[in-house]
A and B are shown apart, each in its own frame.
Chain A
Amino acid sequence: MKCIVVTPEKTEVETEAAFVAIPLFDGEYGVAPLHTPMVGRLGAGELRIKIGEETESYYIEGGFVEVSNDVVSILTSRLLRKDALSLADSEEALAAAHAKKAGDPESMAEKFAALRNARARIRVARKWS
């Protein structure tokens, strides 16, 4: 099974994988080889790709996943590698999300999305540290 992760700026990961665990909008979703074709909306969280016996982890935030013909394509707007994610930064992001002003339904939704992302980021950072 092939696994491709692209961000708007570049293709971050392109590899053969034995198993991929994807953070969907409502929880984790596992994809093994020969998975049925699917398209899903991503949430924020940890993306794990098992290559042989090794497992690689990334933090991703939003986007889509498409599985077809034994290829998992992950389109995400943001990807952070292990060395780029720190707990302190994530906590700062959470504080910034809390400080956001929300006067109408739209900005409210925006604020909640930011909070959700920041919390997911902290969770992943804690897990990695």
Chain B
Amino acid sequence: MAKARALDKRRKSIQSTRKITRTMELVASAQFRRAMERSLAASAYTERIAALVGDLARAGMKVTHPLLEERPERKSTALLVLTANRGLCGGYNSAILRIAHKRLDELKADGQTVRHMVSGNRGVSYMKYRDIPIDESFNQFDHHPLFEQVNVIAEGLLSSYLAGEIDRVEVVYTRFVSLSKQFATLETLLPLSELADAQNGEAETKKGQVDYEFLPSPESILEEVVPMAFKMKLFKCFLDAAVSEQVARRTAMKAATDNADSMISILTTTYNRARQSQITNEIIEVVSGASAMK
């Protein structure tokens, strides 16, 4: 009975693992839905900011702002890496860290000083393992980053950018495109080139539609819109990362659960066979014993 019992034991342990992975899958599903809702709710603001910049451009405003200008010389770059706090989410963290590491090597080869900023315990432990010094790290962002928390980081980046301590801000995060498509990517947040481009294009196509009254002046509005656009972009990165993490975790846990299922069914078959052959053996023993008595 020894072999059958060992099989049964293994099956039980896989069953309890399956229970855990299944629960984690459900939790990730629920958190994904919540993160998704938040991400959608936040897009209203981003869209309106973009519309506002378009309106400013249409009002014949020449858009110039220190945050929009590409600096001729790049000496120092801030690299923000957004990873998860916990593992068990498939290739989510490793995909980000692979890109981050590649970028770090490039920047180093370029002779730039890099300010390392890492969010998430996974990224922090990776950097420690690789002996890369971390300048700033955050682990307060879980499945729902708050704007106020992101705002603090954004303010810090803005002030060091404006003071000339850093010439560029780049972020590595997982962009969420759809439920079946998320990918780790590197994006430049400062200088904010996109804002100017988008809005120059729009200005040409829809010139002179509405005459706005600006209070106090278009310049003053622009002065505040641009940093806000940057903050929103950073916030969006955090939200995307949170959504993608939950999707990745759900997929990973679903795969683990499915795997446990197939293992259980294989073990059950093997166990039943082992038990059956044992019984057959015993019967043969009894029968042969009885016939020997005759």
Contacts and interface: CB of A to CB of B under 8 A. Distances in A.
B204 interface: no
B interface: dominant SS: helix
A66 B45 contact: no
B225 interface: yes
Interface string A77-116: 1000000000000000000000000000010000000000
Nearest to B150: A8
B236 to A, nearest CB: 9
B55 A8 contact: no
A41 B151 contact: no
B242 to A, nearest CB: 13
Contacts of B55: 39, 66, 68
A110 to B, nearest CB: 9
Contacts, number: 81
A9 B213 contact: no
A77 B212 contact: no
A68 to B, nearest CB: 6
A39 B215 CA distance: 6
Interface string B14-57: 00000000000000000000000010011011001101100110
B147 A41 contact: no
Contacts of B228: 63, 75, 77
Interface in A11-55: 11, 24-26, 29, 36-41
Nearest to B159: A106
B221 A41 contact: yes
Interface residues on B, range: 20 to 34
Interface in B199-247: 210-216, 218, 220-221, 224-225, 228, 231-232, 235
A43 B220 CA distance: 13
B52 A39 contact: yes
Contact of A38 (B51, B213, B220): B213
Nearest to B231: A8
Contact of B42 (A8, A37, A63, A66): A8
B212 A39 contact: yes
Contacts of A9: 38, 41-42, 45, 146-147
Contact of A7 (B56, B147, B159, B216): B147
Contacts of A64: 52, 221, 224-225
Q: How large is the interface on A (under 10, 10 to 19, 20 to 34, 35 or more residues)?
A: 20 to 34
A66 B52 contact: yes
Nearest to A26: B216
B52 A10 contact: no
Nearest to A68: B210
B213 A75 contact: no
A24 B212 CA distance: 16
Contacts of B147: 7-9, 77
Interface of A: 6-11, 24-26, 29, 36-41, 62-64, 66, 68, 73, 75, 77, 106
Given A9-B38, A40-B214, 11 more contacts: A8-B235, A9-B42, A11-B44, A29-B215, A39-B52, A39-B213, A41-B215, A41-B221, A64-B224, A73-B48, A75-B52
Interface of B: 38, 41-42, 44-45, 48-49, 51-52, 55-56, 146-147, 151, 159, 162-163, 210-216, 218, 220-221, 224-225, 228, 231-232, 235
23 contacts: A8-B231, A10-B42, A10-B44, A24-B215, A26-B216, A36-B213, A37-B210, A37-B212, A38-B215, A39-B212, A39-B214, A39-B215, A40-B214, A41-B215, A41-B224, A64-B52, A64-B225, A66-B48, A66-B52, A66-B212, A68-B210, A73-B48, A77-B147
Identify the 9 closest CB pairs spanning chains A and B, nearest first. A10-B41, A40-B215, A38-B213, A8-B147, A37-B212, A6-B45, A11-B44, A6-B44, A37-B210
